[in-house]
Structure 1
Amino acid sequence: MTLVRDSLLASVTKDMLGLEVAPWFNPIAPRKAGFNVRTLDVFDDQQLMARAKSDPTVLPETYDRLEAVDYVGSATEIASLVDASDHGAFDYVVSSHNFEHLPNPIKFLQGCEALLKPGGQLIMVLPDGRSCFDYFRAHTDISEWLEAYLEDRVQPNGRQVFAFYASIATTEHAGISGPTAVSETTPTNAIEIEREISKQWDDWCAGKAEAAYVDTHCSVFTPSSFHLLIAECRALGLTAFEVAEVGETHGVEFCVRLVRSETRPIPDAAASCRSIRTGLLRQVWNEHAVRYSAVGTQSVKDALRARVDLQRGGIVQLLRRWNRKRLQKRCDRQG
């Protein structure tokens, strides 16, 4: 977590005004460390403490890390939860493992735009779908975000809940087990589906997702697929955020940093936009190619390393052939 935390805070100073979304008991920019930060959570202080005490995985010595909550509500509604007088006053918004849960990501992005100054930053840690219990799920397509935006979706719908719970990956490998044990180092043949599909279908038919809020990973990302989604939102004039940085995956997660430009771009259907999308889509499918390695005992990390080695080896072979040709030409000239 130290590497991720350092990456997140590299462009933040303690005198900047920030807002952290749902830090739970592990804030990225804690007030106790001197950060000038406010907190948003779906639960208030008392509810958070009660949840911490009822969770056996949360150690009592971490209770004092819980931040006081300034704004209570869903992060999707971030713009309406913060007083209008504070819109445009924030230097940064930081979020770790929250964005993938949001049923309406575009609305959240637009809400963060409203809070941030021009040049302000939205900094997030996101899970890489190839390296966690989303392993068997495809990356999220822009049409899914657009559908949620047009519906003004406020909670995950039946399809999103089904897609998540019917595809949860789990593992029993090297003495560890369960969905949270799936990581970039888990061999492909040690990962399997956790649940039966019929129960998830029955829940969907019964309308359980509509009856109550069901926490779900509504979006699945690889680094390039996230970059693509933001590029497509910009191309449609739906966000003023530009991608400043998309980090490499470390463990199960990667960092992103978006910067708020002055205005949203005019929707653009130019060839340059198509070119950007094409390039990113190629990168997305290159990232997916390492997920299902030809050797079942390989992990995503192993496959990535093998691909890099292969690429390096290919470059070496190309250089050797090039040098042989140069040498042959020189001999011919001298000949």
Structure 2
Amino acid sequence: MTSRQRALDAVQPRGRIGVEIGPLNRPLIRRDDGEILYADHRATADLRTKYATHPDVTGPDAAPLMEIDLVLDGRTLTEALGPRAPVDYIVASHVMEHVADPVGWLGDMAACLREDGVLFLAVPDKRFTFDFRRAPSTTGDLVAHHLSGATTTSPAQIFEHTARTASVDLVAIWAGAGREPPPLFDNQLVSALRDARMVAETGAYFDAHCTVYTPASFLAVFGELIALDLIPFEIAAIEPTEREQLQFYVTLRKRAAASPAERAAATPRLDPRRHHDLPEPPPPPPLDWRERIALAWRVLRTGRSTRGDGAHG
């Protein structure tokens, strides 16, 4: 299934009203699917200028940018929607990882939704992106940034983003290789300290992946946040990262009337045999009868196979 098909299944837009955040020129929900409002941090003309050097967004062969209905630009979604809230659903693809305070952001999303409304998220899986070398964000990370009232990237977040960025080969990682990806650029630690100092001294906005997750770590962190009653959602569904893909999908359902314990109890579980830290390399193909005879003969003669398993006779 494509990201769009998953979003359509999750939010069922026909006859409902929703918001998609950051659609650019590839919205998951289209205007002919149902009543939809597009939100972004800038107006359409400003986005066209910002992405002028990105051919996949503004190039001659690119689909046109969506007309933005709700310009955030320092406003919450609640403020931007005004009397048009509440809505039935919200879609956000590759958005939440850029938010300094995900707990506060999810609170804003919940304020815009009807009870039982859904928030559909597409989230990059750090194991298969340039975040490969970063440690997954913890519940403590998210709680700390929420309690500090973070509104922009913190020095710690920008340091980790710059210092750990790696040049990742997605296909190789899925094949069981590429486990030591090189840095994306030279002098990353020095650059990371410079950027962190700039943020600390000026409070300037610096776009970064503020938090990073795997499907398993997402469930662990947000299950605890729900149990702590920090967000009024339950995790209604999670679709883990598929082979040779780099993102997973989460459907959160607003259930403000339910107790935190009830909402936390609904958290799905993943099979640990399938969702470990990194995929295992595929097994070698089975030998045909000729190869089995040749292998047995080699073991008898040398005491070692040649399939790389180091077996001795």
TM-score category, normalised to shorter length: 0.7 to 0.9
1:118 is matched with: 115
* Structure 1 pair 257–116 and aligned structure 2 pair: CA distance change class (3 A): same
Q: For the Cα contact (< 8 Å) 1:30–1:67, is it kept in 2?
A: no
Q: For the Cα contact (< 8 Å) 1:125–1:253, is it kept in 2?
A: yes
Counterparts of 1:291-310 in structure 2 under 5 Å? Answer: 300=279, 302-303=280-281
The alignment's C-alpha RMSD in Å is: 3.1
Deviations 1:250-273 (A, max 9, x none): 20011111111133635x6x9x97
* Structure 1 pair 183–282 and aligned structure 2 pair: CA distance change class (3 A): closer
State the distance in 1 between where 2:20 and 2:172 align.
Answer: 27
What amino acid is the match of 2:8?
A: L
Q: Shift of residue 283 of structure 1?
A: 4.9
1:24 is matched with: 24
Question: Which is richer in helix?
Answer: 1
TM-score (norm 1): 0.73
What amino acid is the match of 1:225?
A: S
Counterparts of 1:144-155 in structure 2 under 5 Å? Answer: 144-155=141-152
State the distance in 2 between where 1:125 and 1:75 align.
Answer: 23
State the distance in 2 between where 1:284 and 1:116 align.
Answer: 36
- Give the 3-state SS of the residue equivalent to 1:198 in structure 2: helix
Identity %: 23
2:236 is matched with: 244
Match of 1:260 among 245, 248, 254: 254
- Give the 3-state SS of the residue equivalent to 1:161 in structure 2: helix
Say yes or no: does 1:287 pair with 2:276: yes
State the distance in 2 between where 1:210 and 1:27 align.
Answer: 34
State the distance in 1 between where 2:24 and 2:200 align.
Answer: 26
Q: For the Cα contact (< 8 Å) 1:76–1:104, is it kept in 2?
A: no
* Structure 1 pair 252–116 and aligned structure 2 pair: CA distance change class (3 A): same
* Structure 1 pair 146–209 and aligned structure 2 pair: CA distance change class (3 A): farther
* Structure 1 pair 71–160 and aligned structure 2 pair: CA distance change class (3 A): same
State the distance in 2 between where 1:231 and 1:143 align.
Answer: 13
Aligned length: 277
What amino acid is the match of 1:254?
A: F
2:4 is matched with: 5
What amino acid is the match of 2:49?
A: A
Counterparts of 1:176-195 in structure 2 under 5 Å? Answer: 184-185=174-175, 187-189=177-179, 191-195=181-185
State the distance in 1 between where 2:273 and 2:162 align.
Answer: 24
Q: For the Cα contact (< 8 Å) 1:40–1:75, is it kept in 2?
A: no
Q: Shift of residue 3 of structure 1?
A: 2.1
Q: Shift of residue 225 of structure 1?
A: 1.1
Consecutive unaligned residues of structure 2, counting only runs of 5 or more, are 284-313
* Structure 1 pair 148–190 and aligned structure 2 pair: CA distance change class (3 A): closer
What amino acid is the match of 1:259?
A: R
Moved more, 67-76 or 138-147: 67-76
State the distance in 1 between where 2:62 and 2:55 align.
Answer: 12
Moved more, 54-63 or 213-222: 54-63
Q: Shift of residue 37 of structure 1?
A: 0.5
Q: Shift of residue 75 of structure 1?
A: 8.4
Deviations 1:289-310 (A, max 9, x none): x2xxxxxxxxx3x44x56xxxx
What amino acid is the match of 1:287?
A: H
Consecutive unaligned residues of structure 1, counting only runs of 5 or more, are 174-179, 291-299, 307-335
What amino acid is the match of 1:52?
A: Y
* Structure 1 pair 135–147 and aligned structure 2 pair: CA distance change class (3 A): same
Q: For the Cα contact (< 8 Å) 2:173–2:179, is it kept in 1?
A: no
* Structure 1 pair 60–209 and aligned structure 2 pair: CA distance change class (3 A): farther
- Give the 3-state SS of the residue equivalent to 2:76 in structure 1: helix
- Give the 3-state SS of the residue equivalent to 1:68 in structure 2: coil
State the distance in 2 between where 1:198 and 1:27 align.
Answer: 37
TM-score (norm 2): 0.78
What amino acid is the match of 1:61?
A: D
